[in-house]
Structure formats: structure tokens, C-alpha cells
Amino acid sequence: MDMSASEGWRSEQELVKACLAGDVRATHRLVATFHREVYALCLRLLGHTHDAEDVTQEVFLRIFRSLRSWDRKRPLRPWILAIAVNRCRTWLRKRPRNNALPDELSTGQGGGETDTAWELQETLSQALASLREEYRTVFVLYHDRHLAYEEIAEVVGRPVGTVKTWLHRARLEILAYLRRRGWDHEIRTALSGLPELDANPAGS
């Protein structure tokens, strides 16, 4: 993370210290550094822009209320993403269940994508939404946010072996979902580049 030495923050520790001291520039820098990623994670887990915007605001309020509790020996990013995941979980529990489609599925086709590519993306999003919450979370953190297993374990508060198990099961369920809808060829093409997981991941 670029702390911009010209502004006096050469590390996450210095940035956090400045935030705690009431430095407005430091506060703005912390938000600017992590806002895009927090919002993207919330949007992927919640599926709706309005919800993601609201939860992102809640996340940063919680971050600044809890900043003194951050362990300076640990990276800041997993700690922040853990707060985001927890706020999403709370939001999902409180949100009324309805049949509304995620924003990316309800806004129609766009961006010049072919019909086939759009349909596959729609089916992938539906498959992701069908997963158990913990499977969806680790899948998004690994494939969308590109966190390492150890970072995901820190975010979700589970051992690395459990993270690998959940990710393995998430992949299997997504593949099964796509196959049931006739996407076998596209599965081999789209997912052929995924890193291999342990054949027998540690149990949860």
C-alpha cells in the first residue's frame, strides 16, 4: 500500500497513528486507499449497489471506531476486509428475503458482450448467489480480491485448512450448477486457468 512518504506516512502504522491523532488528511488517505476494494467486496457479497453503498459507509464508521484495537503487528488490509465481511453478514441476516435479482442481472446486457458471454456471466452470478455464505465469501476473497489462503483465514477467522475446504466445495458447487444448465464446454474454457487446490483439503 502506498503511504506516500511525501505526506509523512511511510507505513500503515504511521497512517493509523495519524488517523488516531485526528489528522484529516490521514483519514482521507485511509478511506481512499481501501474504499474501492471494500465497496467491490460488499457489492459481490450483497449483489445490490444500494446495499453495498450503505454497508461500505457502515464499514468505514466501524473501522474508525475500532482503529485503536487494530494489532499493529498484523497487516491492515485483512483486518479491514474482515470488518467488511462481518458487516455484510449482519446486513444479509437483516435484509428481507425477496426475489429481486442482483444489479448485474437486472440491468440488462451491456458493454458490447456477446449473448453467450453475458448468459454465462449471469449464470455464474446466480451460481455464486446460491452458495452458502461462507463458501461465497472465501470464493470472492480468493478469486475476486486475490487474497492468499492465510489472509482469507485471518479475514474469516478460520484455519487455512478450513478455507481450502470451503473454497474447494464452492468450486464444486459452482461447477455442478453450471453443468446442470448445459455450460460444460464453457466451464472447461473459463475455469481451466484456476490454480489447483489440494485434492483432499483439510476438513473444517
Residues 96 and 119 in one domain: no
Confidence of residue 64 (pLDDT cuts 50, 70, 90): very high
- Three cell numbers written together for 170: 464452492
pLDDT tens per residue across span 149-163: 999 999 999 999 999
Place of cell 453450471: 178
Cα–Cα distance, 16 to 12 (Å, whole number): 6
Orientation of helix 184-191 relative to helix 160-180, angle to 10°: 140
CATH number, domain containing residue 111: 1.10.10.10
Is the pLDDT confidence value at 100 over 70? Answer: no
Question: Which stretches of 70-141 are assigned E, i.e. beta strand?
Answer: none
Residues 146 and 56 in one domain: no
Residues 86 and 139 in one domain: no
Domain span at 133? 107-204
The pLDDT value given to residue 203: 46
Residues 39 and 128 in one domain: no
